[in-house]
């Protein structure tokens, strides 16, 4: 069966520090991978998605970037964190990008920028 | 672009009450529709889905019917339990990754 891991589970970082969040998927090949952010009191915002190694689509311009160095690894990064980067970051995967394909979510990383 | 609108929360119900959470959507073509649930401190779990008009998704006593004529996918449960307390997200998937509504927080009190 497929599983998705995210780490760390919780992170407290000072403003201006770098960020690296990691997501890995097991039990499937060539998944579509996604990063979402859930800010306090707001809904889920799609940040990035990837259909293959090195292929990244950005949905919103911001202080973050994503990379996919391996087939089942998706990394979310920032060079300098802002207060507004605080939130709950969710990684997801799917077999099919569009249509009926279900997206499966990881447990999330809670980031607090102080 | 595609969008989802769901009722604002929070919703507070007594145990065994009837639940309805409204969800409407705007999309080109024929999207698939989903309800996800997020329990406190956890990620999102798929609750149910429907892939074409008039399909009914169901799981754990929850139901939602894909109504193309009203562009709706309302979530219902006949008798809620305290363990149903969570945030519920309506979402659609057309030609892009999932588009979510803002979520509705449900609190069920004993």
The confidence score (pLDDT) of residue B8 equals 83
The confidence score (pLDDT) of residue A61 equals 66
DSSP strands (E only) in chain B: 3-6, 11-14, 19-21, 23-26, 32-38, 44-50, 56-59, 62-65, 75-77, 86-93, 99-100, 104-109
Ranges of chain B whose pLDDT falls below 70: none
Distance from the B95 Cα atom to the nearest Cα atom in chain A, whole angstroms: 5
The confidence score (pLDDT) of residue B42 equals 84
Nearest CB to A100; choose among B32, B46, B101: B32
The confidence score (pLDDT) of residue A2 equals 84
Per-residue tens of pLDDT for chain A, all 114 residues: 889 999 999 999 999 999 999 999 999 889 999 999 988 777 888 999 999 999 999 888 678 999 999 999 999 999 999 999 999 999 999 987 666 678 899 999 999 999
Reduce the DSSP state of residue A93 to 3 states and report it. strand
Closest-CA residue of A relative to B39 is A107
Length in residues, chain B: 110
Distance from the A36 Cα atom to the nearest Cα atom in chain B, whole angstroms: 10
The confidence score (pLDDT) of residue B17 equals 97
Reduce the DSSP state of residue A83 to 3 states and report it. helix
């Amino acid at each position: 069966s497929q599983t998705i891991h995210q780490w760390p589970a919780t992170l407290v970082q000072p403003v201006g520090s770098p960020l690296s969040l990691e997501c890995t998927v097991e039990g499937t090949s060539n998944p579509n991978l996604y990063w979402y952010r859930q800010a306090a009191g707001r809904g889920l915002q799609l940040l990035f998605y990837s259909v293959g190694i090195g292929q990244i689509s950005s949905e919103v311009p911001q202080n973050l970037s994503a990379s996919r160095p391996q087939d089942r690894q998706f990394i979310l990064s920032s060079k300098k964190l802002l207060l507004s980067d605080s939130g709950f970051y969710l990684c997801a995967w799917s077999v099919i990008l569009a249509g009926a394909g279900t997206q499966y979510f990881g447990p999330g990383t809670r980031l607090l920028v102080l | 672009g595609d969008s989802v609108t769901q009722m604002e929360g929070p919703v507070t119900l007594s145990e065994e009450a009837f639940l309805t959470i409204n969800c409407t959507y705007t999309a080109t073509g024929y999207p698939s529709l989903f309800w996800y649930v997020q329990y406190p401190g956890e990620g999102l779990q798929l609750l149910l889905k429907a892939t074409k008009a008039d399909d009914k998704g169901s799981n754990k006593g929850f139901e939602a019917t894909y109504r193309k004529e009203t562009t709706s996918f309302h979530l219902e449960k006949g008798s809620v339990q305290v363990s149903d307390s969570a945030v519920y997200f309506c979402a659609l998937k057309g030609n892009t990754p999932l588009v979510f509504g803002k979520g509705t927080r449900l609190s069920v009190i004993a």
